[in-house]
């Protein structure tokens, strides 16, 4: 047994150390000007420029990305949607990702439409996709990949890998309801199911709010008609559509269902389940992701639900593997596009949100910052907006794209 005298002596040593630490921290309290200068030093020490030459990344930033991807099981690319230049940068990453063993590209599309997207690209590239999207009622069926730069990215990923290269993990998109129901109408094994699906498809055509405001009873009735073994894939599609309808309800003004928080949670959980099923079925391969930044964050997403990125990162941890989270943001002069082809300002104005960063951004080339050193010195950037601080904690690196071109519809 340890004597009381030894315990007392140990306590005095502990108290003494604590006192020294307390006095040192207090004595070393930096001024705001000193913190600002230290933040500049952190920025400079973490800065890496990259270039794109002959469709591949090059330079110090490219070497950093290649090393981190090679050491990881999963690469998460969190972005602001609608910037064609971001898609072009990711496409230039593909050769290094392929060389590192990544064969699957997880995308923010539902599983059914991701399969259709890949089939179109394998059959005829982006021309085949453009023809599909040109059909009345189908122009918004494949979110984001109806943009030319995103379509080129998906096509490159598909052509570089065996099927299935694309893993769709998301809920059924509200703009895809007509296509989904039309496929059920064409493929269901019974006349009653085909007739009901055709009637619902007619209601959905041209109505971007249909899925959120759909009669869940009618969707469930259609689901019940798909009980034959031959209809199992269609039954799964209807299950996904019913869940997606519930998720959309609070966003289109339907009361009595899920809250906004509940809908976001259901969506994120759906993506996690879908990923895990695909990952296990494929034998645990390397996967790279490109989603909106809130889905790729560690911890809680910007919608305050446990993120997909955190879940998949934990999967890597359980396997003794690593994950790399990369945030890509608009730099000066960059514009984003919407699904209708309109251009607008990006959500985050870096020059305004992080003015210290502006002088360290290359005017023409993407600039990368390793956020590891930032996290070791959080007081240096404690003055930044709360949403920016959350992203710094949630990602391993940030890549800033200057003079980015807004996404344009595929034609």
**Alpha helices, DSSP H only, in 142-176?**
148-160
pLDDT mean by block of 10 residues, the chain; 411 residues: 46 43 54 92 97 94 98 98 97 97 98 98 98 96 96 98 97 97 98 98 96 97 98 98 98 95 98 98 98 97 97 98 97 91 88 89 96 96 93 97 95 86
Confidence at residue 22, expressed as pLDDT on a 0 to 100 scale: 42
Cα separation of 219 and 246, whole Å?
A: 11
Task: Give exposure, 15-46, as e/b (b: 16+ Cβ within 10 Å).
Answer: eeeeeeeeeeeeeeeeeeeebeeebeebbeeb
pTM of structure: 0.91
Three-state secondary structure of 240-263: HHHHHHHHHHHHCCCCCCCCHHHH
Distance of CA 97 to the CA centre of its chain: 17
Can you list the domains of the chain with their CATH numbers?
31-135+142-171+269-401 (3.40.50.11550)
Cα separation of 95 and 215, whole Å?
A: 46
Cα separation of 328 and 401, whole Å?
A: 7
Confidence at residue 350, expressed as pLDDT on a 0 to 100 scale: 86
């Amino acid at each position: 047994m340890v004597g009381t005298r030894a315990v007392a002596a140990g306590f005095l040593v502990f108290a003494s150390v604590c006192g020294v630490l307390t006095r040192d921290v207090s004595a070393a309290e930096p001024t705001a000007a000193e913190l600002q200068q230290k933040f500049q030093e952190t920025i400079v020490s973490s800065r890496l420029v990259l270039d794109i030459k002959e469709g591949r990344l090059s330079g110090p930033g490219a070497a950093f990305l290649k090393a981190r991807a090679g050491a990881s099981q999963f690469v998460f690319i969190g972005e602001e949607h609608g910037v064609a230049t971001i898609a072009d940068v990711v496409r230039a990453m593909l050769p290094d990702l392929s060389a590192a063993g990544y064969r699957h590209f997880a995308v923010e599309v539902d599983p059914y439409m991701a399969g259709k997207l890949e089939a179109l690209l394998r059959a005829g590239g982006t021309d085949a996709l453009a023809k599909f999207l040109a059909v009345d009622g189908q122009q918004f069926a494949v979110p984001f990949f109806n943009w030319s730069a995103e379509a080129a990215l998906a096509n490159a990923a598909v052509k570089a890998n065996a099927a299935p290269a694309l893993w769709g993990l998301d809920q059924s998109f509200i703009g895809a309801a007509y296509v989904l129901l039309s496929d059920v109408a064409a493929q269901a094994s019974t006349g009653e199911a085909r007739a009901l699906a055709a009637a619902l498809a007619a209601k959905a055509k041209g109505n971007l709010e249909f899925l959120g405001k759909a009669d869940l009873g009618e969707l469930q009735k259609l689901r019940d008609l798909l009980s034959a073994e031959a209809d199992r894939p269609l039954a799964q599609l209807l299950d996904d559509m019913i869940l997606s309808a519930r998720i959309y309800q609070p966003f289109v003004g339907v009361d009595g269902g899920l809250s906004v928080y509940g809908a976001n949670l259901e969506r994120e959980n759906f993506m996690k389940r879908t990923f895990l099923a695909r990952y296990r079925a494929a034998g645990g391969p390397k996967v790279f992701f490109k989603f909106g930044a809130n889905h790729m964050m560690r911890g809680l997403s910007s919608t305050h639900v446990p993120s997909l990125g955190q879940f998949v990162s934990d999967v890597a941890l359980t396997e003794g593997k690593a994950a790399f989270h990369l945030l890509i943001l608009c730099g000066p002069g960059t514009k984003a596009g919407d699904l209708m082809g309109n251009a607008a300002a990006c959500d985050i104005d870096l020059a305004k949100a992080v003015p210290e960063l502006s002088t360290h951004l290359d005017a023409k080339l993407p600039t990368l910052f390793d956020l590891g050193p930032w996290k070791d010195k959080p007081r240096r950037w404690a003055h930044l907006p709360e949403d920016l601080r959350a992203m710094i904690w949630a990602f391993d690196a940030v890549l800033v794209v200057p003079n980015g071109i807004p996404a344009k519809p595929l034609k």
